[in-house]
Amino acid sequence: MAELTNQSFTKMFYDYLASSALGLVAGSTLHAWRFPQNAPALATVILNRSPGPKTMTNDRLFNMQLLTRAATPGQAEQEAERIFDWITNTENSVGIQLDGWYIYSIEGNTAPGAIGADSAGREQWSANVIVRVQKES
């Protein structure tokens, strides 16, 4: 099993969300690290805000930002809250296995909130979650 880095965890979390019941489509309505120019107005990007994975023996802690944008404030708010609520519901995320690691805790750190429009006038909402994972034994 390779070392778990911010980049590798972001990719694993992205793959997990893309295959989840959320209905997000990888490369269209869901992105990792940045929005590509051709992304639709209604889309979410996953950003890893950890300075480095906080190591606690076989555990890792990651601070993840979920940035959602849409054409209107109402759309952005509704989608950001839908994603945040689904991710922080322990029935959906706790115990999920990710390439030799499993999620044992996801906590909402900052609930979805408006952060203003992007340069194209799309409304943006941001939320933050703390994801704790542990090596499978």
- Which residues neighbour 97 within 8 Å (Cβ) at sequence distance 6 or greater? 136
pLDDT tens column, 111-133: 999 999 999 999 999 999 999 99
pTM for the predicted model, two decimal places: 0.90
pLDDT tens column, 99-113: 888 899 999 999 999
| 23: CATH | 3.30.2000.30
> Does residue 1 belong to any structural domain of this protein?
no
> Does residue 98 belong to any structural domain of this protein?
yes
The percent of residues in the chain predicted with pLDDT above 70, rounded, is: 93
> Does residue 56 belong to any structural domain of this protein?
yes
CB 46 within 8 A of CB 14: yes
Taking residues 14-30, report their average pLDDT: 94
Task: Assess whether pLDDT exceeds 60 at residue 97.
Answer: yes
User: Domain of 21?
Assistant: 6-135
pLDDT tens column, 46-81: 999 876 655 666 788 899 999 999 999 999 999 999
Q: How many domains, in total, are found in the chain?
A: 1
Write the CA distances from 68 to 4, 36, 101, 123, integer angstroms.
26, 13, 27, 8
The SS3 call for residue 3 is coil
**What stretch of H or E contains 25?**
none
Kindly report the backbone phi and psi dihedral angles of residue 28, in degrees, each rounded to the nearest multiple of 5, phi listed first. Answer: -125, -75
